[in-house]
């Protein structure tokens, strides 16, 4: 038996410190390979750390809320063997949903790399083992066979109902008294239905019972639209209640982590790059009609489609026509980039972050829609990784979701253009000499005037507006 002191690893490029947000284990708990044991907050995001060793938690060296430097020991793991691996399998998780498949359980765990042993357990996130993880739920095969490709097939128990799971997978669950009346992939024994973690979070926020939601996803999974439809509302904000006035006269919030990084970035951008802003009102009626057609298309089944998708495509198209808006300023040169890493400003519980879609210019409409949806959901969950926020070339901020008409956004550091999409709502609009109700929005853009001259900024925003007015131009 040996003890390993697990140091805080560098989970991003140049990370120097992080805050311990929440421990997922306690002294005396068994810990498995790749099991998430702590959440940390870096200067950019919330990160889950998996264990590179199997054994027993001996001691937590850092209390929650404390910020420590990279390399500082944070956890002591007592292993059952000198090589840092347990000689016995880890205790099964209490939840049957996390139990490994029989084929997975039979596979021997891989030993950690020798370099990791010499470093005393300083293993980077995601390295050090290839064994099964109990932090991710295994999907169960459907009795009807619709989901047999999602997980290895389980051996059928003798004389059992076809819809029952193997005994090893349901040992901790109560037996099913009656056949479920829900679709085949649903189970009434406490096993969650098929839905991505962000969808579960949305359902929790809206108070939706997922077992009562009818799935419409391509593999029988529950989509965001399914949850919202069941909740009979279009926005999470309607569920927010006005809190009582606090008894304390003041609340002091420490400036650290993401909030500290936001403050430094905003100051650096606002006072180092001379901003210039331009605005244009746009008739977005055809965009709204186009979005409606895309939602009805089988090609976009299970993918969220919104005006943001058309706006993103418009920016990519306009940047190709006006390349200097997709550039970077240095003291010695202007670097014009012929690829688009499209940043999307996202408001999260921990503050504003700007993850970006890599190589967006090479994506089809469907691929871009899926990438934007994943980026947004990951950001709202607070799971955006540092690498996903690096290397952006141009940014869009969708302030319309908050009911705002327009604004003067601050440039993301290292970029020279950012565009704000305002709310789209019906207004009187002159069409062919007649006043008609049309869907209208305002687009605003801020630019680094050292790189982007007024004429280029105006042409770029006019090009974006032309796509919003007539999305068919994207077919050129």
The pLDDT tens digits for 415-474 are: 999 999 999 999 999 999 999 999 999 999 999 999 999 999 999 999 999 999 999 888
Does the residue 66 lie in any domain?
yes
**DSSP letter, residue 232:** T
Residue after which a domain boundary falls, among 118, 153, 179: 118
pLDDT in tens, 56-112: 998 999 988 888 888 899 989 988 754 444 444 444 444 444 444 444 444 444 444
Percent helix / strand / coil, the chain, rounded to 5: 30, 20, 50
Whether 428 contacts 437, CB under 8 Å: yes
338 is catalytic: no
Q: How confident is the model at residue 12 (pLDDT cuts 50, 70, 90)?
A: low
> What's the domain range around 19?
2-118
Q: Which of 147, 149, 275, 449 is catalytic?
A: 449
224 and 276 in one domain? no
Does the residue 163 lie in any domain?
no
198 and 67 in one domain? no
Is the pLDDT confidence value at 315 over 70?
Answer: yes
Tokens of 98: 């996390």
Q: Which residue has the tokens 């969950």?
A: 381
Does the residue 45 lie in any domain?
yes
Distance CA 5, CA 302 (A): 45
Distance CA 86, CA 109 (A): 9
322 and 394 in one domain? yes
Q: Angle 285-296/307-321 helices, nearest 10 degrees?
A: 120
Distance CA 214, CA 440 (A): 34
Whether 397 contacts 409, CB under 8 Å: yes
Does the residue 28 lie in any domain?
yes
Q: What is the CATH number of the domain that holds 280?
A: 3.30.559.10
Distance CA 322, CA 451 (A): 12
Enter the pTM of the model. Answer: 0.55
Is the pLDDT confidence value at 242 over 70?
Answer: no
pLDDT in tens, 162-196: 444 444 444 444 444 443 444 434 444 444 578 87
Q: What is the CATH number of the domain that holds 231?
A: 4.10.320.10
Whether 390 contacts 412, CB under 8 Å: no
Distance CA 203, CA 467 (A): 34
Q: 235 CB contacts (<8 Å, ≥6 apart)?
A: none
Provide the number of structural domains found in the chain: 3
Question: Strands (DSSP E) along 378-464, which ranges?
Answer: 394-397, 417-421, 425-431, 434-448
Residue after which a domain boundary falls, among 215, 238, 261: 238
SS3 call for 59 = strand
Is the pLDDT confidence value at 380 over 90?
Answer: no
First and final CA of the chain: distance in angstroms?
Answer: 68
Q: What is the average per-residue pLDDT within 310-320?
A: 96
């Amino acid at each position: 038996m040996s003890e390993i002191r697990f140091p805080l690893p560098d989970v991003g490029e140049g990370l120097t410190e992080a805050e311990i947000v929440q421990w997922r284990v306690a002294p005396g708990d068994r810990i498995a390979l790749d099991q998430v044991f702590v959440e940390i907050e870096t200067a950019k995001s919330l990160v889950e750390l998996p264990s590179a060793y199997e054994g027993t938690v001996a001691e937590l060296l850092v209390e929650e809320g404390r910020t420590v430097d990279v390399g500082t020991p944070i956890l002591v793991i007592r292993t059952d063997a000198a090589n840092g691996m347990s000689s016995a399998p880890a205790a099964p998780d209490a939840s049957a949903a996390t139990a490994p498949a029989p084929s997975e359980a039979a596979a021997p765990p891989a030993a950690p790399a020798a370099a990791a042993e010499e470093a005393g357990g300083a293993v980077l996130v995601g390295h050090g083992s290839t064994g099964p993880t109990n932090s991710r739920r295994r999907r169960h095969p459907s009795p009807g066979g619709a989901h047999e490709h999602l997980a290895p097939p389980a051996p059928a128990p003798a004389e059992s109902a076809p819809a029952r799971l193997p005994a090893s997978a349901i040992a901790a669950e109560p037996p099913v008294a009656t056949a479920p009346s829900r679709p085949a992939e649903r189970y009434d024994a406490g096993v969650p239905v098929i839905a991505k973690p962000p969808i579960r979070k949305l359902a929790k926020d809206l108070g939706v019972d997922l077992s009562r939601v009818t799935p419409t996803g391509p593999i029988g999974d529950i989509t965001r639209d399914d949850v919202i439809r069941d909740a009979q509302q279009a926005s999470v904000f309607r569920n927010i209640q006005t809190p009582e006035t606090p008894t304390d006269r003041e609340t002091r919030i420490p400036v650290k982590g993401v909030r500290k990084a936001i403050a430094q970035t905003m100051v650096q951008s606002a006072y180092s790059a001379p901003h210039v802003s331009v605005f244009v009102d746009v008739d977005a009626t055809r965009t709204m009609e186009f979005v409606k057609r895309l939602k009805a298309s089988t090609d976009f089944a299970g993918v969220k489609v919104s005006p943001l998708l058309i706006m993103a495509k418009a920016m990519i198209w306009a940047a190709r026509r006006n390349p200097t808006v997709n550039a970077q300023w240095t003291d010695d040169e202007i670097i014009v980039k012929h690829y688009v890493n499209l940043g999307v400003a996202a408001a999260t519980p921990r503050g504003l972050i700007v993850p970006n879609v890599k190589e967006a210019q090479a994506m089809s409409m469907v691929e871009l829609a899926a990438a934007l949806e994943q980026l947004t959901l990951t950001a709202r969950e607070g799971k955006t990784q540092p690498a996903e926020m690096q290397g952006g070339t141009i940014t869009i901020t969708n302030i319309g979701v908050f009911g705002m008409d327009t604004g003067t956004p601050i440039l993301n550091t290292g970029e020279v253009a950012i565009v704000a999409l305002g709310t789209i709502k019906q207004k009187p609009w002159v069409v062919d000499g007649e006043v008609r109700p049309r869907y209208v929005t305002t687009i605003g853009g801020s630019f680094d005037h050292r790189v982007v001259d007024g004429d280029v900024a105006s042409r770029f925003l006019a090009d974006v507006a032309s796509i919003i007015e007539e999305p068919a131009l994207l077919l050129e």
